[in-house]
Amino acid sequence: MDPAHVLALYERFAGDRSTFLYGGAFLDEHTARLINMQEEHLESEGATRVTRGKLTFVLVEAYQNIVRHRVKDASMLNGAGRGLFLLRSAGTSHEVTAMNAVAGAEVEALRRALDRLSGLDLGEMKRLFLRGLQNEARTERGGAGLGLVEMARRSGNPLRHTFATIDDLHQLFALQVLVGPDDGWLSAASLPVDLHQIMLEDRILLLHRGALPAVVQENLIRMIERDMSELQAGPSRADQAFLLMMGAVADLGVAGEGPLVMVAQGTGHATITLAAPLASTTAARVEKALQVVMSMDGPELQRRYRDTLLGRADGVGGLELGLMDLARRSIGPLRTHLMSWRALPLLVLEADV
């Protein structure tokens, strides 16, 4: 990916405690992984049980709406019909965005359902939801309408939505839900539909920005492993490379708002990207380790790596060893760029695997 695009993505989510963007296979089993990751973040910041319950419901309902109601036409999977799920958290604000293609014939019913919610108080929403549950003639989309009612009721905030034309038969439906104070929206007034186009152009499968505790790393790796297997119909080394990137993060001396890690789907391979602001005290050490590893050809890299493991190489730190291992597993050389973000050195490191 163009390093300038990586920097733009890092800056776009500035101020977030954590950001998770997903555009993969939308497997049902990922629902539990989303809950695990978010619970880890919420517990670490001491969020109340009420907030945790609200956010868990909203993120599950939004994700499941994509799983259940996206257009199933496989020809649209890598096109404009691809789904997008985005979770942003900052302070007491948690913003969930879901986008998926819907048939044009469904748009009017969705508009009516959303328009009906605007202006209702919490009591009216609860009565509307209960009436829907009692209606045995509910359609599949009617069920989705109940989900919209309950997301609005539990969040306590109006739902944002918009539609964008894909083709004559389909539209992109974008929905945004805020859990937190009513003035806590993290996106601009308009929904981030442009992010869907960025995801398509750069073939982003998954992105995480912010702190990466062990529980979050484990769930991200499992998602990458399953999605690469599903989308490429075969095994992939992307999960192993991602794990090595996590090892590099631990040795880099990351500063600022933490690292951004991203997986993009290539043709027959995946690209793992790391963007990490560095402490000024560690930037020189990181740059030296990169120069050493990047200067080696294949045979020299193998020898150096083997000698290090056997204790026959002096002065090799954990960062250099991790970079050597990543380079050994990569298709072609690692790509590195040193940029600047808010007066901090920003390392962008990419590997094709």
What does the pLDDT read at residue 234? Answer: 60
First to last CA, the chain: 14
Query: Is the model more confident about 302 or about 236?
Result: 302
Percent of the chain at pLDDT > 90 equals 58
Express each pLDDT in 173-220 by its tens digit. 999 999 999 999 999 877 899 999 999 999 999 999 999 999 999 999
Domain 26-210 class in CATH:
alpha beta
Instruction: List the one residue out of 351, 292, 300, 303 whose CA is nearest residue 327.
Output: 351
Whether 317 has a pLDDT exceeding 50, the answer reads yes
Residue 256 neighbours by CB under 8 Å, 6+ apart: 277, 341, 342, 344
Q: What is the pLDDT of residue 144?
A: 45
| 127, amino acid identity | R
- Examine the pLDDT at 137 and tell me if it is beyond 60: no
Strand order in the sheet with 335-341: 160-165, 170-179, 93-103, 84-90, 18-22, 204-210, 260-265, 270-277, 344-352, 335-341
Percent of all residues in the chain with a pLDDT value above 70, rounded to a whole number? 90
Is the pLDDT confidence value at 43 over 50?
A: yes
Q: Which two tokens stand for residue 15?
A: 């101020």
Whole-number pLDDT of residue 314: 72
Residue 333 backbone class (left: φ over 0; alpha: ψ -120 to 50; beta: rest)? beta
CATH classification of 236-353 is 1.10.357, yes or no?
no
1 Cβ contact list (under 8 Å, min separation 6): 202, 262, 264, 271, 273, 350
- Report the range of poorest mean pLDDT among 69-73, 206-210, 231-235, 256-260: 231-235
Phi/psi at 37 (5° precision): -65, -45
Q: What angle do CA 167, 196, 270 make, to 5 degrees?
A: 110
Domain ranges of the chain: 26-210, 236-353
Dihedral angle, C-alpha 324, 330, 331, 337, nearest 10 °: -80
Which band of pLDDT confidence, cut at 50, 70 and 90, is reported for residue 134?
low
Question: Which pLDDT value is given to residue 77?
Answer: 45
User: Mean of the per-residue pLDDT values for the chain?
Assistant: 88
Judge whether residue 136 has pLDDT over 50. Answer: no
- C-alpha to C-alpha distance for 252 and 2, rounded to whole angstroms: 22
For Cα atoms 267, 270, 272, give the angle at the middle one, nearest 5 degrees.
145
Same fold, 26-210 and 236-353: yes
